[in-house]
Structure 1
């Protein structure tokens, strides 16, 4: 398994960032490739993802650790992916969003195509960084 960790600081309070992170229906606005997202029962999210021009459905199980402002997720269909989003208060009006993604490079290559090896890791890092930047733009614009 490979692990990727990225973070970004957003100019909104932690409670607002936490609430926005839980709005699955907004994922298409900041997560590259997600065409539609919907919460199933508060603990499951279904995502329709554009994979090489075709839409593939993924399901993820969500575990909230609200007091710690941590959301863990694990795919239950599609490629084996897992991750954690942690929110840390910087001060009353600013929050650090930390993303940790765990993936098997071979599985990602098989599911999504694209490069392998170092080029794949670089592409995934860039994708996660871009998604975090889009999240920042979205939440700061909506305040």
Structure 2
């Protein structure tokens, strides 16, 4: 398994960032490749993801440790992905978002295609960094 950790600071209060992160229906606005996303009952989410010219459906279970401002998730099928978002206040108007994703490189490559080895790790890192940058724009500009 490989683990990726990235963080970004956003110029909004913690509560606003937390709320925005939980609006699954808005994920297509800031998560690359997500064409549609819906919340389901009992802490589940459905995402339609386009990659390599193909549309894939992903189901995920989401849980919160709200008092700690941690949102954890994992896919319920292939590819097996797990992750979390931890939010920490920097001050009243700024929040640090820490993203952590655990994945099996071979499985991700089989499902989504793309390069092998170190190149794949770099690609995933760039995608996560890009998604965090897009989330920053989204949340800071009224999302």
TM-score norm. by structure 2 comes to 0.98
C-alpha separation in 2, matches of 1:40 and 1:78: 19
List structure 1 runs of 4+ shifted beyond 6 angstroms.
none
Q: 1:46-71, CA deviations, whole angstroms, 9 ceiling, x for partnerless residues?
A: 00000211211000000100000000
Residue equivalent to 1:68 = 68
Residue equivalent to 1:142 = 142
C-alpha separation in 2, matches of 1:42 and 1:49: 21
Q: How many residues align?
A: 143
C-alpha separation in 2, matches of 1:117 and 1:53: 22
Residue equivalent to 1:3 = 3
C-alpha separation in 1, matches of 2:78 and 2:111: 8
C-alpha separation in 1, matches of 2:56 and 2:29: 18
Q: Which ranges in structure 2 are unaligned for 5 or more consecutive residues?
A: none
Residue equivalent to 2:119 = 119
TM-score norm. by structure 1 comes to 0.98
Quote the RMSD (CA, aligned, Å): 0.9
Q: Which ranges in structure 1 are unaligned for 5 or more consecutive residues?
A: none
